[in-house]
Amino acid sequence: MKKFILFFVFTFITIIVKAQAGYNYKQFAIGLDISYERGYTNISRQDNNFSENINFTYNYSPYIPVTAELQFGKLSGGGLIASLDPYGRQYTNHYEGLILHGDFQLGEVIDYSESNILNILKNFYFGTGMGIIFNSNTVQRTNVIDANGPRTYVFPGSNASINFTVPFRFGYEFKIYNDYEEPYMAIDLGYVHNMVFGEGLDGYDDPTSKFKNNATNQYRQIVVGVKFSFGNVTSYNKLIRRF
């Protein structure tokens, strides 16, 4: 009798699990991103560099991740000759950033159950958030170009500073599924444009009466990332994987 009851319970659980296949997802994820980035500051010539971040995600749903990330990056630009910067300014910023952002994937609102095209489009996302940037600059402070006046002139600003930032994000997430049709891994391709409020990104705070200094500091990132899901399994209200 006990064997019969155990067999019945096991069969019942198996049916439930199979019935939920394709609906389940895990609540958390951890990941790593690599970015190809460039600054947009008061220095006209900017270099391209690489950065990386580690991140932790809470999946409010399969299509609404909320992520905290720790960035480690480098921004640089300018040069000590007039062809690179008309004032001989040059900076290198080895920064760290702590960013909190949320993304919204189209799969949250569109019905992709009967459309191959919508099933592909469901993983496009856009998002925004907020964070802080810890700037650590190495800056050419003194004038090195005779045409700009005495070489004793010192460019104002701070080498170390903290700025508030707002990222604007869009991209595509490739979901990879396990044997239970759950998304257990994802590869992200995205573009992030960060608005940075303050003058710390390049370390220069030049007076507008002498220099062009009227735009918000920014930097952009072209991102490739990977993340792995873990934690409690939660059911969604529609199939996550259609095929």
80-131: pLDDT as tens digits:
998 899 888 999 999 999 999 999 999 999 999 889 999 999 999 999 999 9
pLDDT-above-70 percentage for the chain? 88
Residue 221 neighbours by CB distance under 10 Å: 22
Distance, CA of 213 to chain centre: 27
- Residues forming a β-bridge with 26: 233
Which of 67 and 155 is assigned the larger pLDDT?
Answer: 67
166-220: pLDDT as tens digits:
999 999 999 999 988 999 999 999 999 999 999 899 999 877 766 666 678 999 9
Fold of 2-235: Porin (2.40.160)
Q: If we measure between CA atoms, which residue out of 128, 188, 137, 190 comes closest to residue 162?
A: 137
The domain spans of the chain are: 2-235
Residue 220 and residue 193: Cα distance in Å, rounded? 4
Residue 114 neighbours by CB distance under 10 Å: 8
Q: How far is CA 113 from CA 4, 26, 202, in A?
A: 39, 21, 49
Of 109-113, 145-149, 157-161, the poorest mean pLDDT is in 145-149
Residue 160 predicted with pLDDT over 90: yes
